[in-house]
């Protein structure tokens, strides 16, 4: 029988078999059987060393038995501790021992604790000398459990510390292709958890940390600092007491001297943790408060540096002080009590703006900490007692001629304003006056913009002061007559511009919005009536301001509804009014209908609509849609118009009214999904007709977009299919011939786009795209696949059309781009990326095929389409697809169309950087073509060609050297290009080629 064979190998095999069996069936064993087996295995531990691995396997199986009788765990462990010299075993067998211990620790905690410190000692012997990272991770976990579960350490604390701390700092680089995937970081974190698990280690650990912190090794320093920070979470004053002076001096030295930002950050974190730990410690009656003396030494060492704003140590000192001050309310008071008066005094002492700026920036750092403690406490706060000097310093910064100082001043002001109860109402009035002055009269635009932002962030806290002081002042300025007081016209415009911006910026509270919106609308009306040439630009500016206000209102239900209710009818009324004024050109007010202005109104209406609640939106939609379909004008503010409003009616004179479809689009396409649109089918039909038959490209495109936007949200079903079929029916003859081919193409593109998005749209807004299984997404897109691929094919076919080809090629850019205008809803961007790849795999072969079969006059269209597709493809996909397409791209470089040239160059640029090996094969062609294109008549092409020539330098030097002379000579010519931007690229490219081949 094997188990008793005299040959240890045979015995070993026998036991191995038994152990294997046990590992499979340990859960089925009876208590008695387990007892016998345990006794057997224990006795085998004394056997030949060849047998031991199998014995341990068996014991591991038994350690997992639930029915192990009490006492057996202890006896197994005792036997192992006694009989086995663990560290002379193989890695796997050592791991088995750790597993046995872990198993027992998790199931027999009470029994093991009965062993007392012997268990700890036994384990120390087991792990002493362990080298394998896999085992160390387990061993560290065991130590952590020993400490966390409160096993008796007895006299062995120091031994336990020694046996683990000898690995600190961890120095381990995983071998390449390591299958176990243990990283250095894993070991570091695991060891840190052990070392920082008990205050009992403190007396041994802290000297070690200080020693490593003083070493030269960067990683050792970092590890020590992070471990120290971790320790502070559980240490108290008692543990730290002895080591505080040397810890502080090491930290200070590092922050003052280090060049590494990382070390500085960790030092500051450690100081923060130390201060926090000391602040937290409960004092016994007889001990002194160490925090006080610790902070005193910090202050003593850092304070004087603050007085020398030219010196290098100002910032490190300030950062140290701030790290300590941020630890607790006590440290904050202690430090600011000493530092703030000093800084204020220094500020007045120094007169140079740059020094004042440094001081104010430090002050700002301390003020920021105050925010952490919430409102200012009256009796304790140093800050409150310094209120007057702080304010005067900040105000003086605001009037300083240095822009940089002003900017810091504005930041400080914003901060002071956000501290509740710090600024009195009279101070606040002063603050607002300063902000008004900076906004309106400061020359530097940076300062005035910062002042506007400050006003915007303070306004919600002090709405009264802002609506009472700032808004009227801005209004007055806005209305002040044109070019009065000897102001130049240009100056006047820029001040109007600033007023508009400021009005928008300060509208961050409902009560202020109620004041500013009427001012803005009034101004818009005034401008509309004016006759000056800049009207268009002014109206666009007002719309931009309104847009900003709309965005700021979106989160506030009340403000949002107010804005919608006030602005949307007003804009519509103004537009309708303008459109009614007949066809006489150059009438005042007509400017409102210019494309530029309408395009500026679209985002205003859209932003005012997207965040409406469904009920309110439904209320609004019941006014707006009848306005367009039935000419129902009664809800508009001034509703007496000379004739009726029929944007969908026939007739030449209605051209102007039709343009307003843009505003309808802005509204209906921004509505929440679940809002039903009255008379939707009628509306869709009208839009379809308009998009196919209107002569004005702007109107036709807008109608097509609006149609697409509605289709996109349309629920699936027969109705949708019908309307789509109708669209296809209208589109096809339109595309074939007639004056409206372009319009039909636009419609095709937008419908195609709407179908792409439709899959996403139909899901409803509440589902996050990531939460949706891929096959569902695909299924939804696939449902309309027949039609959308049919439309794509149509588009591909049009590339061969001499008239529509170029536009069709540009259409590919639209299809590939980020969801534009009306289809831009919720950023489901990741789906779009997949979509692009699909589009690429589905259609690029067709494009390539079409290219080869096409006549010479339309070949460029295919190349253009291709380059649009490639341009929008993720670079990683592009690089993998490169070999098949490269020859075509190289051919495209010779194409005479500059759009093709430009987009091909921008495709090649990343490839040069990311796939230099493949590109090296074509270096000859590339060099020649790039150099040729540097003299293209189009600036953008010249720039792109030079960038590519520059990127060529990332190819291997040996490939480049033969061309070096030629390229440098050829690049001399673009150095004298008439355009500065081209010269800049030429300089960069030639400079890089000049050093090519030198060893640096």
Partner 1 sequence: MVGPGSGAAPLENANPLIYRRSGERPVTAREEDDELPDAIDDREIFDLIRSINDPEHPLTLEELNVVEQVRVKVNDAESTVSVEFTPTIPHCSMATLIGLSIKVKLLRSLPERFKLDVHITPGTHASEHAVNKQLADKERVAAALENSHLLEVVNQCLSARS
Which is nearer to partner 1, 311 or 653 (by Cβ)? Answer: 311
Provide Rg for the chain, Cα atoms: 38
CB of 210 to partner 1, least distance (A): 30
Interacting residues of 788 by C-beta distance below 8 A, sequence separation 6+: 752, 755, 756
Which is nearer to partner 1, 767 or 995 (by Cβ)? Answer: 995
CB of 937 to partner 1, least distance (A): 8
Q: What x/- string results for residues 273 through 312 when contact with partner 1 is judged by CB under 8 A?
A: ----------------------------------------
DSSP of 394-456: HHHHHHSS-HHHHHHHHHHHHHHHHSTTTS-HHHHHHHHHHHHHHHHH-S-HHHHHHHHHHHH
Which is nearer to partner 1, 264 or 477 (by Cβ)? Answer: 264
**Size of interface with partner 1, in residues (CB under 8 A):** 19
**Site membership for partner 1, residue 216 (CB under 8 A):** no
Of 134, 146, 217, 223, the C-alpha closest to 181 is: 134
Which is nearer to partner 1, 397 or 989 (by Cβ)? Answer: 989
**Site membership for partner 1, residue 895 (CB under 8 A):** no
Residue labelled with tokens 């350690």: 63
CB of 354 to partner 1, least distance (A): 9
Which is nearer to partner 1, 60 or 990 (by Cβ)? Answer: 990
**Site membership for partner 1, residue 920 (CB under 8 A):** no
Which is nearer to partner 1, 673 or 898 (by Cβ)? Answer: 898
**Site membership for partner 1, residue 403 (CB under 8 A):** no
Which is nearer to partner 1, 224 or 406 (by Cβ)? Answer: 406
**Site membership for partner 1, residue 896 (CB under 8 A):** no
Q: What x/- string results for residues 655 through 694 when contact with partner 1 is judged by CB under 8 A?
A: ----------------------------------------
The conformation of residue 119, written as its DSSP 8-state character, comes to: H
**Site membership for partner 1, residue 313 (CB under 8 A):** no
Q: Residue 69 is encoded by which pair of tokens?
A: 């009788």
Which is nearer to partner 1, 585 or 980 (by Cβ)? Answer: 980
Of 593, 592, 591, 574, the C-alpha closest to 636 is: 574
Which is nearer to partner 1, 872 or 990 (by Cβ)? Answer: 990
C-beta of residue 403 within 8 angstroms of C-beta of residue 444: yes
**Site membership for partner 1, residue 961 (CB under 8 A):** no
Which of 386, 742, 939, 959 lies at the binding interface for partner 1 (CB under 8 A)? 939
C-beta of residue 212 within 8 angstroms of C-beta of residue 192: no
- Plot region of 651 (φ>0 → left; ψ -120 to 50 → alpha; else → beta): left
Which of 20, 265, 925, 994 lies at the binding interface for partner 1 (CB under 8 A)? 994
Residue 886 C-alpha from the chain's centroid: 34
CA angle 762, 687, 820 (to 5 degrees): 50
Which range in 94-102, 313-321, 611-619, 970-978 contacts partner 1 by CB under 8 A?
970-978
CB of 968 to partner 1, least distance (A): 8
**Site membership for partner 1, residue 180 (CB under 8 A):** no
**Site membership for partner 1, residue 443 (CB under 8 A):** no
Q: Residue 797 is encoded by which pair of tokens?
A: 């076919």
CB of 547 to partner 1, least distance (A): 23
**Site membership for partner 1, residue 999 (CB under 8 A):** yes
Which is nearer to partner 1, 767 or 981 (by Cβ)? Answer: 981
Q: What x/- string results for residues 973 through 992 when contact with partner 1 is judged by CB under 8 A?
A: --xx-xxxx-xx--x--xx-
Which is nearer to partner 1, 640 or 998 (by Cβ)? Answer: 998
**Site membership for partner 1, residue 585 (CB under 8 A):** no
CB of 403 to partner 1, least distance (A): 12
CA angle 813, 818, 821 (to 5 degrees): 100
Q: What x/- string results for residues 769 through 808 when contact with partner 1 is judged by CB under 8 A?
A: ----------------------------------------
CB of 869 to partner 1, least distance (A): 26
Which is nearer to partner 1, 336 or 903 (by Cβ)? Answer: 903
What is the C-alpha to C-alpha distance for residues 145 and 989, in angstroms, rounded to an integer? 61
Interacting residues of 455 by C-beta distance below 8 A, sequence separation 6+: 432, 435, 439, 466, 470, 502, 505, 506
Count of H-run helices and E-run strands, the chain: 51, 0
CB of 812 to partner 1, least distance (A): 25
Interacting residues of 879 by C-beta distance below 8 A, sequence separation 6+: 910, 911, 914, 915
Which is nearer to partner 1, 20 or 938 (by Cβ)? Answer: 938
CA angle 790, 793, 796 (to 5 degrees): 160
In the chain the first and final C-alpha atoms are separated, in Å, by 74
CB of 181 to partner 1, least distance (A): 32
SS3 assignment, position 623: helix
CB of 591 to partner 1, least distance (A): 22
What is the C-alpha to C-alpha distance for residues 250 and 215, in angstroms, rounded to an integer? 10
CB of 999 to partner 1, least distance (A): 7
Which of 488, 917, 958, 1000 lies at the binding interface for partner 1 (CB under 8 A)? 1000
What is the C-alpha to C-alpha distance for residues 554 and 546, in angstroms, rounded to an integer? 12
Which is nearer to partner 1, 322 or 448 (by Cβ)? Answer: 448
What is the C-alpha to C-alpha distance for residues 20 and 17, in angstroms, rounded to an integer? 5
CB of 389 to partner 1, least distance (A): 29
Determine which helix (DSSP H) or strand (DSSP E) holds 812, and give its type and residue range.
helix 805-816
CB of 983 to partner 1, least distance (A): 7
Which is nearer to partner 1, 19 or 953 (by Cβ)? Answer: 953
**Site membership for partner 1, residue 972 (CB under 8 A):** yes
SS3 assignment, position 481: coil
Interacting residues of 516 by C-beta distance below 8 A, sequence separation 6+: 471, 503, 504, 506, 507, 549
Which of 125, 183, 219, 938 lies at the binding interface for partner 1 (CB under 8 A)? 938
CB of 99 to partner 1, least distance (A): 49
The dihedral sign for the CA sequence 613, 619, 623, 626: positive
Of 43, 110, 56, the C-alpha closest to 85 is: 56
Which range in 736-744, 789-797, 875-883, 972-980 contacts partner 1 by CB under 8 A?
972-980
Of 413, 303, 368, 320, the C-alpha closest to 405 is: 413
What is the C-alpha to C-alpha distance for residues 691 and 701, in angstroms, rounded to an integer? 6
Which is nearer to partner 1, 251 or 912 (by Cβ)? Answer: 912
Q: Residue 186 is encoded by which pair of tokens?
A: 């894993």
CB of 543 to partner 1, least distance (A): 21
Which is nearer to partner 1, 166 or 981 (by Cβ)? Answer: 981
Of 929, 1000, 945, the C-alpha closest to 977 is: 945
Interacting residues of 774 by C-beta distance below 8 A, sequence separation 6+: none
Residue labelled with tokens 């920021």: 368
- Cβ burial 201-236 (10 Å sphere, 16+ → b, else e): bbeebbebbbebbeeeeeebbbbbbbbbbbbbeebb
Which range in 57-65, 427-435, 779-787, 971-979 contacts partner 1 by CB under 8 A?
971-979
CB of 319 to partner 1, least distance (A): 19
Which is nearer to partner 1, 137 or 996 (by Cβ)? Answer: 996
CB of 412 to partner 1, least distance (A): 21
Which residues in this chain contact partner 1 in the complex, by CB under 8 A? 938-939, 972, 975-976, 978-981, 983-984, 987, 990-991, 994-995, 998-1000
């Amino acid at each position: 029988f094997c188990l008793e064979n005299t040959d240890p190998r045979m015995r070993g095999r026998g036991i191995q078999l038994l152990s294997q069996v046990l590992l499979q069936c340990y859960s089925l064993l009876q208590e008695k059987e387990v007892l016998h087996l345990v006794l057997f295995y224990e006795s085998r531990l004394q056997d030949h060393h060849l047998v031991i691995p199998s014995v341990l396997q068996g014991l591991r199986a038994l350690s997992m038995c639930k029915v192990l009788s009490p006492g057996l765990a202890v006896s197994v462990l005792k036997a192992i501790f006694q009989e086995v010299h663990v560290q002379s075993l193989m890695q796997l067998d050592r791991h088995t021992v750790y597993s046995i211990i872990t198993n027992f620790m998790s199931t027999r905690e009470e029994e093991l604790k009965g062993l007392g410190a012997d268990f700890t000692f036994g384990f120390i012997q087991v792990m002493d000398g362990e080298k394998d990272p896999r085992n160390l991770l387990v061993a560290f976990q065991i130590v952590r459990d020993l400490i966390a579960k409160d096993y008796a350490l007895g006299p062995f604390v120091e031994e336990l510390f020694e046996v683990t701390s000898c690995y600190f700092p961890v120095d381990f680089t995983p071998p390449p292709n390591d299958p176990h995937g243990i990283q250095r970081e894993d070991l570091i974190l695991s060891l840190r958890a052990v070392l920082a698990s008990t205050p009992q280690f403190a007396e041994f650990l802290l000297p070690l940390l200080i020693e490593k912190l003083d070493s030269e090794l960067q990683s050792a320093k970092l590890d020590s600092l992070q471990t120290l920070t971790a320790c502070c979470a559980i240490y108290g004053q008692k543990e730290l007491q002895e080591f505080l002076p040397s810890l502080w001096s090491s930290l200070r030295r590092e922050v003052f001297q280090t060049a590494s930002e990382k070390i500085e950050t960790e030092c500051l974190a450690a100081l923060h943790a130390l201060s926090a730990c000391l602040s937290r410690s409960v004092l016994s009656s007889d001990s002194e408060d160490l925090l006080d003396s610790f902070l005193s030494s910090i202050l003593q060492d850092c304070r004087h540096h603050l007085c020398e704003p030219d010196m290098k140590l100002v910032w490190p000192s300030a950062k140290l002080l701030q790290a300590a001050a941020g630890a607790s309310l006590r440290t904050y008071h202690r430090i600011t009590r000493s530092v703030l008066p000093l800084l204020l005094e220094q500020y007045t002492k120094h007169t140079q703006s740059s020094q004042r700026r440094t001081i104010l920036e430090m002050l700002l750092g301390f003020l920021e900490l105050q925010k952490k403690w919430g409102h200012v406490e009256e009796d304790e706060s140093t800050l409150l007692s310094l209120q007057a000097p702080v304010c005067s310093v900040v105000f003086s910064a605001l009037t300083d001629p240095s822009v940089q100082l002003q900017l810091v001043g504005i930041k400080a002001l914003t901060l002071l304003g956000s501290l509740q109860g710090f600024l009195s109402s009279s101070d606040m009035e002063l603050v607002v006056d300063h902000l008004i002055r900076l906004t309106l009269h400061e020359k530097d635009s940076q300062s005035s913009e910062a002042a506007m932002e400050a006003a915007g962030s303070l306004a919600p806290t002090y709405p009264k002061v802002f609506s009472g002081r700032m808004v009227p002042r801005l209004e007055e300025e806005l209305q002040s007559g044109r070019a009065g007081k000897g102001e130049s016209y240009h100056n006047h415009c820029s001040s109007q511009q600033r007023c508009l911006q400021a009005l928008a910026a300060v509208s961050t509270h409902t009560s202020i919005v109620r004041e500013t919106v009427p001012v803005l609308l009034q101004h818009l009306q005034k401008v509309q009536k004016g006759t000056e040439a800049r009207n268009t630009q002014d109206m666009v500016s007002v719309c931009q301001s309104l847009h900003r206000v709309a965005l700021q209102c979106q989160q506030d239900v009340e403000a949002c509804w107010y804005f919608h209710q006030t602005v949307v009818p007003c804009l519509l009324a103004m537009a309708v009014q303008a459109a009614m004024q007949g066809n006489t050109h150059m009438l005042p007010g007509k400017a409102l209908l210019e494309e530029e202005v309408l395009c500026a109104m679209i985002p205003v209406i859209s932003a005012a609509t997207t965040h409406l609640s469904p009920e309110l939106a439904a209320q609004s939609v019941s006014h707006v849609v009848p306005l367009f379909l039935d000419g129902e004008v009664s809800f508009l503010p001034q509703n007496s118009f000379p004739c009726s409003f029929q944007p969908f009616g026939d007739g030449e004179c209605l051209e102007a009214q039709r343009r307003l479809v843009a505003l309808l689009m802005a509204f209906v396409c921004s509505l929440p999904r679940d809002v039903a649109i009255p008379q939707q089918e009628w509306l869709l039909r009208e839009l379809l007709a308009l998009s196919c038959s209107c002569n004005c490209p702007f109107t036709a495109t807008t109608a097509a977009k609006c149609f697409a936007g509605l289709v996109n949200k349309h629920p699936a079903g027969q109705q949708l299919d019908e309307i789509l079929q109708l669209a296809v029916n209208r589109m096809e003859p339109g595309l074939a011939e007639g004056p409206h081919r372009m319009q039909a193409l636009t419609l095709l593109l937008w419908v195609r786009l709407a179908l792409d998005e439709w899959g996403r749209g139909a899901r409803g807004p509440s589902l996050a795209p990531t939460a949706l299984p891929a096959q569902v997404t695909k299924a939804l897109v696939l449902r309309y696949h027949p039609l959308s691929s049919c439309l794509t094919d149509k588009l591909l076919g049009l590339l061969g059309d001499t008239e529509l080809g170029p536009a069709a090629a540009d259409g590919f850019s639209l299809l590939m781009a980020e969801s534009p205008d009306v289809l831009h809803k919720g950023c489901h961007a990741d789906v779009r990326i997949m979509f692009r790849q699909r589009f690429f795999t589905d259609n690029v072969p067709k494009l390539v095929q079409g290219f080869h079969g096409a006549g010479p006059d339309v070949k460029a269209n295919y190349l253009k389409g291709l380059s649009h597709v490639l341009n929008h493809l993720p670079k990683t996909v592009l690089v993998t697809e490169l070999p098949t397409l490269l020859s075509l791209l190289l051919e495209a470089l010779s194409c005479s169309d500059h759009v093709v040239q430009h987009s091909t160059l921008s495709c090649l640029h990343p490839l040069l950087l990311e796939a230099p090996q493949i590109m090296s094969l074509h270096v000859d062609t590339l060099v020649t073509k790039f150099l040729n294109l540097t003299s293209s008549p189009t600036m953008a092409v010249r720039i792109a060609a030079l960038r590519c020539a520059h990127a060529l330098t990332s190819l291997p030097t040996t490939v480049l050297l033969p061309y070096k002379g030629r390229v440098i000579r050829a690049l001399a010519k673009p150095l004298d290009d008439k355009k500065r931007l081209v010269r800049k690229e030429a300089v960069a490219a030639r400079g890089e080629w000049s050093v090519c081949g030198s060893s640096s």
